[in-house]
Amino acid sequence: MHVAIVLYPGFTSLDVIGPYEVLGRLPDTEVVFVAEQPGLVRNDLRSLSINVVAGLADVPEPDVVLIGGGPGQADQMADGNLHEWLRTVDRTAAWTASACTGSLILAAAGVLNGRRATTHWAALGNLAEFGVTPANERVVIDGHYATAAGVSAGIDMALTLAGFLAGDDMAQAVQLIIEYAPEPPYHAGSLDVAPAKAVEIAKAKLSGRLS
């Protein structure tokens, strides 16, 4: 199985590294990072770069294509080579997936038209602009599309995909291998439960970063 994870300048690391850790541990699976401009691609915090060796043309028929989000997503919304590639590979891929605001890129490319999808809570309403039904859920499966809410939800989405691709036993084994059993010290992981002050600070920090 061939998994292609799309990178672009300003991506959020966990959006892609979480799913990479999960999907890369499935049997007979090769994960490749792909970018419109191969080379060192720097994340949103500008302190981590991934050396991408594959261009879009080098990966014409992945079984799974996944794109993450991050502030750089805003620069990937115009139709162009990336959107054309996404539309092309979507026709043959078993799964087209996203984490965080990566779903906005898929939506702008037209592949989520008429579908339900999710994204980071700060950008959820934007999906409707592209003919997508926003779903305030951590993971949404609609047809062969799998979308995850913000950042860490990409791990949940990838484990869900792992179950479809390799069976529940293997997906659970991968979950055990990466010891994914979250016990966060705070009850502030969603708008529904986060204290008002935390929401205020988060919105201020995200202002201008998420479309």
Give the tens place of pLDDT for each residue, 92-135: 999 999 999 999 999 999 999 999 999 999 999 999 999 999 99
Q: What is the pLDDT of residue 210?
A: 60
State pLDDT tens for residues 19-69: 999 999 999 999 999 999 999 999 999 999 999 999 999 999 999 999 999
Q: What is the pLDDT of residue 3?
A: 98
pLDDT of residue 10: 98
Question: d(Cα 6, Cα 198) in Å, to the nearest integer?
Answer: 31
Task: Take residue 31 and report the two structure tokens written for it.
Answer: 């994960």
3-state helix, strand, coil in the chain (%, to 5): 40, 20, 40
To the nearest whole number, what is the mean pLDDT of the chain?
97
All domains of the chain, ordered by start, with CATH?
2-182 (3.40.50.880)
Q: How far is Cα 48 from Cα 200, in angstroms, rounded to an integer?
A: 28
SS (H, E, C) 71-138: HHHHHHCCCCHHHHHHHHHHCCCCEEEECCCHHHHHHHHCCCCCCEECCCHHHHHHHHHHCCEECCCC
Q: What is the mean pLDDT of residues 199-204?
A: 96
Q: Across residues 168-183, what is the average pLDDT? A: 98
pLDDT of residue 112: 98
Residue whose structure tokens are 């750089």: 72
Catalytic site positions = 100
Task: Determine the residue type at 114.
Answer: G
pLDDT reported for residue 209: 72
